[in-house]
Chains A and B, each alone.
Chain A
Amino acid sequence: MNRATVLGILMVLAVAALAIAPFMGMIDVPLSALWGAAEERGQVDVLWKLRIPRVCLAFLAGSALATAGMAFQAMFRNPLATPFTLGVSSGASLGAAICIHMGWTFSLLRFSGVSLFAFVGAMVSILLVYGLTRARQGFSTATMLLAGVAISFFFSSLILFLQYISDFTRTHRMLRWVMGGLNRAVDFDDVLGVFPFVVTGCLIVVYLTHEMNLITTGEELAASRGVEVNRTKLVLFFAASLMVGAVVAVCGPIGFVGLMAPHICRLLIGPEHRWLTPAVVLFGGAFLVLCDTVARTVIRGTELPVGIVTALLGGPFFLWLLVGRKAEF
């Protein structure tokens, strides 16, 4: 299969996922609810106020996490890098945990307090990683990774500490938050809040596809061929971290998509980022929509955290691809 065909198929899958997923769920919704002509008013509300925003958010989150994972894997030349490698998710989780521990319930600009705290936490960790890397001159990749991992561990300990001293209900809420998911009352405000971050982030990553290709072959080689390596890394870092921060603030840290979606797409379409990036955006989005649909329909009457489904569905699929083709890593 050539690359254009693969991209075409992914496009069709993404559109299909977006079109079909809103009609799947515990309550049957007829197609006519789309234009408000359903028999029961409730069906229209379920479709427009719950399912469509949720599917949109799932798509945006999946795209953002997968694209950020791809950018970090290229930037660090490390196939194990994820959007959370640099501590964005632990920062967000700590923010959320603080808000839950204190029992603050408020909302600002129609975002919940937990989301806002999570977003602030993500920003703090991004700035800390940047500051620490900057303090040692040269903006080296190794320093950045170490700073990110160290901050990640530090924040994780603080989260454990908060969980330990909180009462049972709050500890449970914290644990539940860290599992990630799209089952908080999602509405169009969440979608609109995340949208600008994800679109800007993805556009910046698309703009830097040539540079990512070159950086994966080695930073010095890239510089010798005219890439402004440090500037590129800095822009990629902020673009990817900001969109991940925004997504995590609303959805919590959803695992697996950011690590595996880029690898699955590499197996399907190759490592050339001009083809890989659109594939990752489409696949990441469609994959998370699929997983979320499974998560809310597989067990009647309850919803699984989507993070469980992503790894359960994606893991075997990835292994199947890996064994089926002579993969190169």
Chain B
Amino acid sequence: MTLIRLDNFSFQLGDKPILCDVSFDVSEGEYVAIVGPNGAGKTTLIKCIDRLLFGGTGSIEICGRPLHQYRQKELARLISYVPQADGRVFPFTVEQFVLMGRYPYLSPFSAVSKEDRRAVDEALQRTGTAEFAGRLLSTLSGGERQKVYVAAALAQGGKIMLLDEPTTFLDYRHQAEISALLSRINRSSGVTIVAVTHDVNQAALRSDRIVALRDGRVAFCGLARQIMDPDVLQEIYGTTLLLVDHPQADLPVIVPHAPEGSS
């Protein structure tokens, strides 16, 4: 079943076109990575899919229904969003923050229901954040905080999770943990994932499909392994990239060029 369908979607800020004629589908249970150079429109794209940015021409459909027909809470029950790291946080505890993910199920004066409690506990358990549930969000490290954001998105209980650069600025251990966590969420709970990333290697290893943007247009859309082709990558990034075979996976990966003159 197609969960997200973009058909010739274009978006501009002021007179500056950001996205041009973007078309692709995401099916239920898929893990789709969105890659591309800086300023290609990746973040704008997922913000448009979650209607955090309004307007644009062409169409976006979620579960077969045009995006603009959804009420805000309806949409929030389908799609959760993990933003890029933001330094400014009010001093909420981890648990309070994750509980806020239950907003689309709350009415103004209602107390927290058993169902909300259960969803929050489960989200904390599955992301390995239960141990610091009582700590203030502002006292966590970047990696821990990112897991808490994913926990809140899980507690929200949607079919689709959109993530904006979930592993950027994290150390190797936390990158690996977050990537593994997302794969688990995708495989075992069937949550459809669309993640913006700069890490093409991780994208190729983890995701089912990759959509690459360049200058607001779809430069590549296909199976993850197909992007690992020097010509395709040259086309997307405008620079020559060096590929070597991964020692474990049957897939080439990108490695940095050695500095000139070294042998």
Interfacial chain B residues near A225, Cβ < 8 Å: 76, 80, 100-101, 103-104, 156
Q: How far, in Å, is B83 (CB) from chain A's closest CB?
A: 6
Q: How far, in Å, is B189 (CB) from chain A's closest CB?
A: 19
Contact with B along A211-229 (1 / 0, CB 8 A): 0011011101101111110
Contact with B along A187-228 (1 / 0, CB 8 A): 000000000000000000001111001101110110111111
On whether the beta carbons of B156 and A217 are closer than 8 Å, the reply is: no
Q: How far, in Å, is B46 (CB) from chain A's closest CB?
A: 10
Q: How far, in Å, is B24 (CB) from chain A's closest CB?
A: 21
Asked if A221 meets B72 with Cβ closer than 8 Å, knowing A213-B100, A272-B92, A328-B136, the reply is no
Asked if A220 meets B81 with Cβ closer than 8 Å, knowing A77-B88, A271-B91, the reply is yes
Which of these, B47, B50, B91, B108, contacts A328 with CB under 8 Å? Answer: B91
Asked if A224 meets B73 with Cβ closer than 8 Å, knowing A217-B97, A271-B92, A329-B91, the reply is no
Which of these, A208, A224, A271, contacts B52 with CB under 8 Å? Answer: A224
On whether the beta carbons of A210 and B108 are closer than 8 Å, the reply is: yes
Interfacial chain B residues near A213, Cβ < 8 Å: 92, 96, 100
Among all A-B residue pairs, the 10 with the closest Cβ atoms: A226-B76, A224-B81, A328-B91, A226-B104, A226-B73, A216-B90, A225-B103, A228-B72, A220-B52, A226-B72
Interfacial chain A residues near B162, Cβ < 8 Å: 224
Complex CA–CA separation, A141 to B83 (angstroms): 19
Instruction: State the B residues within 8 Å of A (CB).
Output: 47, 50-52, 72-73, 75-77, 79-81, 83, 86, 88-92, 96-97, 100-101, 103-104, 106, 108, 136, 138-139, 156, 162
Which of these, A207, A221, A226, contacts B83 with CB under 8 Å? Answer: A221
Asked if A217 meets B89 with Cβ closer than 8 Å, knowing A207-B108, A223-B72, A225-B76, the reply is yes
Most chain B beta-carbon contacts within 10 A, residue among A216, A221, A271: A221
Closest to B97 in A: A217
Interfacial chain B residues near A223, Cβ < 8 Å: 50-52, 72
Closest to B111 in A: A274
Interfacial chain A residues near B90, Cβ < 8 Å: 77, 216-217, 271
Interfacial chain A residues near B47, Cβ < 8 Å: 220
> Apart from A221-B81, A225-B100, A225-B101, what are 14 other A-B pairs with CB-CB below 8 Å?
A77-B88, A77-B90, A210-B100, A213-B100, A214-B103, A218-B86, A220-B81, A223-B72, A224-B76, A224-B80, A225-B103, A225-B104, A226-B77, A228-B72
Complex CA–CA separation, A228 to B73 (angstroms): 8
On whether the beta carbons of B138 and A328 are closer than 8 Å, the reply is: yes
Complex CA–CA separation, A209 to B109 (angstroms): 9
Closest to B74 in A: A226
Interfacial chain A residues near B79, Cβ < 8 Å: 224
Q: How far, in Å, is A234 (CB) from chain B's closest CB?
A: 14
Interfacial chain A residues near B77, Cβ < 8 Å: 226
Q: How far, in Å, is A221 (CB) from chain B's closest CB?
A: 6
Complex CA–CA separation, A217 to B82 (angstroms): 12
Most chain B beta-carbon contacts within 10 A, residue among A207, A216, A329: A216
Complex CA–CA separation, A216 to B89 (angstroms): 8
Interfacial chain B residues near A209, Cβ < 8 Å: 108
On whether the beta carbons of A227 and B72 are closer than 8 Å, the reply is: yes
Q: How far, in Å, is B151 (CB) from chain A's closest CB?
A: 13
Closest to B73 in A: A226
Contact with B along A98-130 (1 / 0, CB 8 A): 000000000000000000000000000000000
